[in-house]
A = this chain, B = another copy of it.
Amino acid sequence: MNLPPLVETFVLHFGEMGGRWGVNRAVGQIYALLFVSDRALNAEEITDALGISRSNTSIALKELDAWRLVRRRHRPGDRRDYFETPEDVWQILRTLVEERRRREIDPTLSLLRDILLESPASTEERHAQARMGEMLELMELATRWAEDLQKLDNTSLRQLLALGAGVSKLLELKSKVPIFGSGARRRDTEESA
């Protein structure tokens, strides 16, 4: 591996961590490399920098593409693809949340909806359905939340994170201020806009 020591440490770490979040080592390493690189890199450069095979690079890049975590760029007079990560880390966060939702939540959501349509044939099944119903409700909330997150601009997203548990204080406030309180909610928020 032919990299500045500081970058190499980072790249190796991401390779290891890759396993914990469902991608292989090469995918993790390439992502890390592109993230800290000050320019877009082509597949050949990536292969050399990481000491992996060219085909491995190709497959890993395809995977990163599927996750929408890298962009392809082109240079005039050069047919090669150059890869880079988005500059904006907030955008990266949005993409991650979105993709994880799509892969980890959505398939289960539709399964749960299907199962809950069936009639239980026993007490056990009735209980099982009740539990699945609880899970569905929570997942639907989480999904909607993740969708909403996509719409927030960087500043709001940062504020939202920074707020943290403070949100409960804010929610108290909301219920105390008449025009934001519960009841006739839709109309009221329209008026306030």
Contact = CB atoms under 8 A, between A and B. Distances in A.
Interface in A7-27: 7, 9-10, 13-14, 17, 19-22
Contacts of A162: 141, 144-145
A135 B13 contact: no
A134 B89 contact: yes
Contacts of A169: 189, 192
Contacts of A121: 4-6
Interface residues of A, number: 72
Contact of A138 (B93, B108, B166): B93
A88 to B, nearest CB: 9
A145 B111 CA distance: 30
Contacts of A138: 89-90, 93
A78 interface: no
A141 to B, nearest CB: 4
A165 interface: yes
Interface string A131-152: 1101101100110110111011
Given A152-B168, A164-B148, A165-B148, A111 B141 contact: no
A14 B115 CA distance: 13
| Copies of the polypeptide in the assembly | 2
Contacts of A93: 138, 142
Contacts of A124: 4, 7, 38
5 contacts: A13-B107, A13-B111, A37-B127, A89-B134, A89-B137
Interface of A: 4-7, 9-10, 13-14, 17, 19-22, 35-38, 89-90, 93, 103-104, 107-108, 111, 115, 118, 120-125, 127-129, 131-132, 134-135, 137-138, 141-142, 144-145, 147-149, 151-152, 156, 158-171, 173-174, 177, 180, 189, 192
